[in-house]
Structures are given as structure tokens and as C-alpha cells.
Amino acid sequence: MNKHLLTSLLAILIFAFFSSLMSCSSAAEKSTENAQVAPGNETVFPSDVISFFDQWRLILGDGSNVGVANNYENKDYFYSAEDEAGKWVVFKAPNGGNTHGSSNNTRTELAQEKKFYPKQADDKLSATLKVMNVSATGDARVAATHSVVVGQIHSADGFENEPLKIFYKKFPGHSKGSVFWHYEINTAGDSNDKRWDFSTAVWGHDFSVVGATSDTYPEEPSDGIELGEEFSYEVVMKDGVMHLTFSSEGHETKTYTKNLITSEYANAGDMPEQVKNLFVPIGQDGVERPGAYTGEGCFFKLGCYNQTNGKSPELNQVWCSGAETHGGDVQAQYADGNYAEVWFKTASISVSDAAVSNQGYFDSNDDYQKPVK
């Protein structure tokens, strides 16, 4: 063979060999690059799902104060999840553990940073959610057992009472649970020991419907909400009046109003029969100040405030559930259903400029600072 032809063929073969090596190397690099950014492998924070965390401080189910929770998750208490309906923010709280403030109950919950005054307010909170679990154990005679609070209005002044608590409650063995809301009186006088709640049923029963014994249950509500079933609430606070709307596909939409600056319960004769049956036997038989929550800074709360705890019912047969807490072992409680879990699909908050101008706020130490008046 011609010497020049042989040299040319050899050069072509060498070039082809190195070109192949370079191509394989490039493909491998590209494959590795794609694997590093493959969709679904990145962390999806709760703030990626509902982008309103600048206006809230987060309290976890271990009692700790996270502060503003942008780009934050905690796999025990607060994280994101996805199912066929989309992405959700998960709030989770065991029956027993470290609690926040003076409460007996654990919560993973957002507290609004800015405060509003009911008389001047033009503020709104709305959310779409589903409750995924309530405690598997607890004394059925105790009204709070097997329930979770998923939204609130809380006062930051005076006795720091709660003009609104939105509950979900389901007894073991039932397919459907109840949604109801509470108004807590802002007690007259110098002591708050006599305060009580009045409960209004939305779907199913109200708070006062309990078991005849510690382990028997009332009739299942025919119009109740199942675990994992979506429902929505909207809370509008305007000119001293609270407006509530509850909606869920396949259920009647319900609306309510409650005046927060003029009391319905300023006299002993105003006490509802439900309260006489539930709270009076434990010595809570107070009256409300005539102006109710007038002049008090209030704020919204949202999340999973577990109402079932391990306290003995002998202490209080309304709020002390006697449920399993495994000595505060969180993972043991999660393993056998002794916790509350709530998933939020959407949530939004709006605050009027007029209300913001004279609000208080939480400082970096989680101490409430009152506005200068």
C-alpha cells in the first residue's frame, strides 16, 4: 500500500477515536448535570407553596419560635407535601411536648405580626385546607378531645382571650367529623377565671357534643367533613363586626356575623344554655365586659393547634383530655396516631392601611409591643 495513503488512514482513525472519547465525556457530563437539577429533587419550602410568610411568625410543636419562616422547613412539624390535588403546607403537632406560652397544648401555628383593632379594622384572612389526623386517644367526655384549631383571632391585650377559634373534631371510628367555631368572652372584672366559650356548629356537631363515657361516642354527623376533605374559611373583620364564611364542595355554604365591640353576654341572664351545661359545672360562669374586645389589639393565627393533651380530666373536663403522649416522645406519638395534622392548600391575608398605622407588633424576643396612642 502507498506509504502516504497508509499515513492518511492512520490519522483518520486516530482522529475518530479521540472524537468518540470526547463525545462520550460530554454526554456523561451532560447526564450528570441533568441529574443534579432533575425536577422534583429540589427542596420545596412551605414559602414556595404559599408566599405570604413575611407577615407571620411561626411557632413549632416543640414550643420554639422560628420567626419569619421563608425558605424554612422542619420535617417533624412544618414542611411541604404534594398529592394529586397539588402542593400543600403541612402543619403537625403531637399531643404532648413542649408548649408555647401558658397553653397546655402543642401547636405548629403562624401568628400574624401586625395587629388590628376591631373597631377600626378592615382585615381579612382566608384559607383552604384539609385535616389529615386528630388524636387517636383521649377521654371522649372531654369536649376538646380529638379536635384541632385551624384558625383564630387572638387578643394581644388584657386577658389575651380569643374572639374566634375555628375547630375540626372527629371521634374514633367515625368517617366524618365536625367543623365549628368559638367565641370566647372577654371577661369582666379583674380575673379571667370565669371565662367561657360559646360554640356554633358549621357542619356536624358543636363543641358541647361529647361521649357518654370515656370511650363511647355520640352519633356520627351526617353532614360532617371527612379527614382529607377540603374546606375553606374566610374571616373578615370590619368596623367592629366579624364576618365568617365556610364552604366545601358538596356542603351548604354557611355565613355568620359576630359583633366584637358590643357584648351579647354582659349580664348573667345572657348566658346560653350550652354554656350552662358545659362550663358552669367546672365553675366558669362569668359575664363579659360591655365593650367586649373594644380597644384591644388583635391578630390572626393559622395552622395546627392540637386541642388534645395528656392532662388529667380530673383537672378540667372541658380542656384536659387524658390522651396518650408517650412521655413527650414525638416520634412514638406520630407512630400510633396521637397527633394533629393539617394541610393548607391556599391562604391569604390583607390588612388595611388605617389599621396598620396604630398597631402593635412582636419584637425579636417575641414580646408584644403596644402601640403609642
pLDDT at 354 over 80: no
Residue 57: CB partners within 8 Å, gap ≥ 6? 65, 66, 67, 68, 69, 110, 111, 113, 362, 366
Instruction: Tell me the pTM.
Output: 0.86
R_g of the chain, CA atoms, integer Å: 27
CB 352 within 8 A of CB 238: no
pLDDT over 70 at 371, yes or no: no
CB 87 within 8 A of CB 44: yes
Higher pLDDT, 366 or 49: 49
Structure confidence at residue 24 as a pLDDT band (50, 70, 90)? very low
Q: What is the pLDDT of residues 99-145, one digit of tens each?
A: 877 788 999 999 999 999 999 999 999 999 999 999 999 999 999 99
Residue 288 pLDDT grade (very low, low, confident, very high; cuts 50, 70, 90)? very high
Q: For residue 99, what pLDDT is reported?
A: 83
Is residue 16 scored above 70 in pLDDT? Answer: no
Q: At a CB cut-off of 8 Å and minimum separation 6, what does 53 contact? A: 46, 47, 68, 69, 70, 110
Beta pairing, strands 122-133 & 339-350: antiparallel
Name the DSSP class of 133.
Answer: E
Task: Answer yes or no: are the C-beta atoms of 292 and 262 closer than 8 Å.
Answer: yes
Q: For residue 22, what are the contacts with CB-CB under 8 A and spacing of at least 6?
A: none
Beta-strand (E) ranges in the chain?
Answer: 56-59, 65-67, 78-83, 86-94, 107-112, 122-133, 147-155, 164-169, 176-184, 197-203, 225-226, 231-238, 241-247, 254-259, 298-306, 339-350, 361-362, 368-369
Q: Is 220 exposed, middle or buried (0-12, 13-18, 19+ CB in 10 A)?
A: middle
Give residue-wise pLDDT tens across range 35-49: 333 355 689 999 999
DSSP of 136-178: S-S-TTSTTTTEEEEEEEEESSTT---SEEEEEE--TT-SEEE
| pLDDT > 70 in the chain, percent | 83
pLDDT at 258: 98
Lowest mean pLDDT among 26-40, 101-115, 223-237, 258-272: 26-40
Chain centroid to CA 7: how far? 78
For the beta carbon of residue 301, count every other beta carbon within 10 angstroms.
23
- What's the topology of domain 46-364? Jelly Rolls (2.60.120)
47-63 as b/e: b if 16+ CB within 10 A = bebbeebeebbbbbbbe
170-197 CB burial, b ≥16 within 10 A, e <16? bbeebebbbbbbbbbbbbbeeebebbbb
Whether the CB-CB separation of 268 and 287 falls below 8 Å is answered with yes
Among candidate residues 122, 163, 96, the one with its CA nearest the CA of residue 325: 96
